[in-house]
A and B are shown apart, each in its own frame.
Chain A
Amino acid sequence: MFVKNCIHFITTVCLTLSACHSQHDTQESKEDSIQTTVSASDSIDQATGLVIDEALPIVKGNCTACHSAQLITQNRATREGWKSMIVWMQQTQNLWDLGNNEDIILDYLAKHYAPEQVGRRKNLEDIEWYDLH
């Protein structure tokens, strides 16, 4: 539903600006090849890279007004850890009182962006092999 809205929005902007039809095309063609980075069963919102579930609109409406969604997607924390980030943003970064949305947002973050046990040092991963002559 969101992707449809988004494309509708882009089309609207294109009509206004007569400027970005090719980007509109790219947007559609990329949808099939989105990489899932969180877990194989999650689907990812193309515009932000966030995991799609029913709480996503609330997360976007509150979190990405000031900072990029990449600040969420590159981090992992427990519910308490995410809560402490929200408190820090409220104390120092002008984040508003989230009201009833706070629990919804914390549930979403704790579910989709929880810490993994990685030990003291991970294996080297995602190696792109190439021939060195």
Chain B
Amino acid sequence: MMKKKKGIHALYAEDPIEADRRLWGRVSHAESRRGFLKRSAIATMGMALGGNIVFAHHMPAGLIPASLAHSIQPFEIPGKDPGLVVLNDRPLNVETPAHLLDEPITPADKLFIRNNGLPPASLNVDQWTLSIDGESVQKPKTYTLAELKSRFKSYTYQLTLECGGNGRSEFNPPAQGNQWTVGAVGCPAWTGVRLKDVLQDAGIRPDAVYIGYYGKDVHLSGDPEKVVISRGVPMAKALEEESLIAWAINGEDLPLMNGYPLRLVFGGWPASTSGKWLYKISIRNKVHDGPKMEGDSYRVPCEPVAPGTQVPDENMCIIESMPVKSLITYPRSGARLSQGKKLDIRGHAWAGDLAVKDMHYSIDFGITWQPCTLEKPANRLAWQQWKAQLTFPRKGYYEVWAKATDSEGKAQPMIVPGWNPKGYLNNACHRIAVMVV
């Protein structure tokens, strides 16, 4: 009979304060839930960490020391495919290898995770509400989940969600942050109500400029007063038909890590605008100024800069629509095939607020380009499927490159595009390796 294992994560998930006590003999101050009442517990935890905990009196109760968080039990994310790649386990940042994104509609278990903080520790869906407030709301309102679902018409759209930092790993000099390669993107079918229907129900004053969201994720420091991330979009994007307050992916509840029970979805814009664990939307009379709206966050130099340049805040502009991009999802990179054999390749292409007009591939490092068959999107802001059949002239090493062109004639670059301090918007063409033998 299998012995039931209980790892450090399970213990902390059940009762973090009790886990502190059982593992370390730690009792924190009742009011602040920080610090250690018994000095011996600091020593126990410090021994496990291999060093003293500096400023132990600030350390929040119920916090797994992160250096232990991935040593004691194998890392598994409930509801996610084990083939996904964990870039960071605190906060959780997980990307999907290109070949696992082959389906036209991304399954929930293959959608990337980009968390800025920790998901809410406890969720009471029956009590969950969404409030609309802000300087430019006519009448602040609060809706329960049930009211949202019953009072407003629901819509389902396939919407492409891509992290603004997807591709960051290729920038030189390196950009700080999670080193995404190509897999912080997906295009599931989202179900919810139109944001504009809800905003209009509360009433929008003529001076409205922007909406800003608030979610129930928890700051990494454990400080309950700190907002993890609060971004948003200008009114024009907020009022588009495809801008949703969503509760479902592909007909099922959102996965916890993707914002259960409620989130925003703005197809084609940096995914950080699509707030998760959503409980409040403020209609602002100015550009929203929540955490990660300012400084280098999700902003790029307004004018192009040389790699490595220090750019003052006032010369940084907020990223809006994402650039044209594509992926080769079949075959997986590394295919070895016999000479003379035809190879079918396929994938997806998307272009922020725009559509993709043309799709090409090259097997000679961009010297010549051949057209691919390109499908229309399922709806506006959904990625489009492309395919081609190709043959190789002789044995040897090849790279298949894929290049999409948007409806305004802008194509993907073959090298990494303009450097920016935080490494956003890398839409260089995707490449896979093929060996013909």
Contacts and interface: CB of A to CB of B under 8 A. Distances in A.
Contacts of A68: 66, 69-70, 88-91
Interface in B14-71: 22-23, 44, 46-55, 58-59, 63, 65-71
A93 B221 contact: yes
Contacts of B416: 120-121
Nearest to A68: B90
B373 to A, nearest CB: 21
In the complex, which of the residues A6, A117, A120 has the most CB atoms of chain B within 10 Å of its own CB atom?
A: A120
Nearest to B59: A65
A122 to B, nearest CB: 7
B174 A77 contact: yes
B87 interface: yes
B71 A48 contact: yes
B177 A75 contact: yes
A47 B333 CA distance: 31
Interface residues of B, number: 70
Given A20-B5, A124-B399, A67 B90 contact: yes
A119 B179 contact: no
Nearest to B55: A96
Interface in A33-48: 45-48
A65 B174 contact: no
B7 to A, nearest CB: 7
B309 interface: no
Would you call the interface of chain A mostly helix, strand, loop, or mixed? loop
A80 to B, nearest CB: 10
B402 to A, nearest CB: 14
Given A61-B51, A68-B90, A47 B68 contact: yes
B1 to A, nearest CB: 14
Given A121-B416, A128-B334, A67 B172 contact: no
Interface of B: 3-8, 11, 22-23, 44, 46-55, 58-59, 63, 65-73, 86-91, 170, 172-174, 176-179, 219-223, 226, 291, 331-337, 343, 399, 414-416, 428, 431-433, 435
19 contacts: A2-B50, A6-B48, A17-B22, A19-B4, A19-B6, A20-B5, A23-B7, A23-B73, A27-B71, A57-B51, A60-B50, A61-B46, A77-B176, A85-B176, A92-B291, A94-B226, A115-B172, A117-B172, A124-B333
Interface of A: 1-2, 5-6, 8-10, 13, 16-17, 19-20, 22-23, 27, 45-48, 56-58, 60-62, 64-71, 74-78, 81, 85, 92-96, 98, 101, 115, 117-122, 124, 127-133
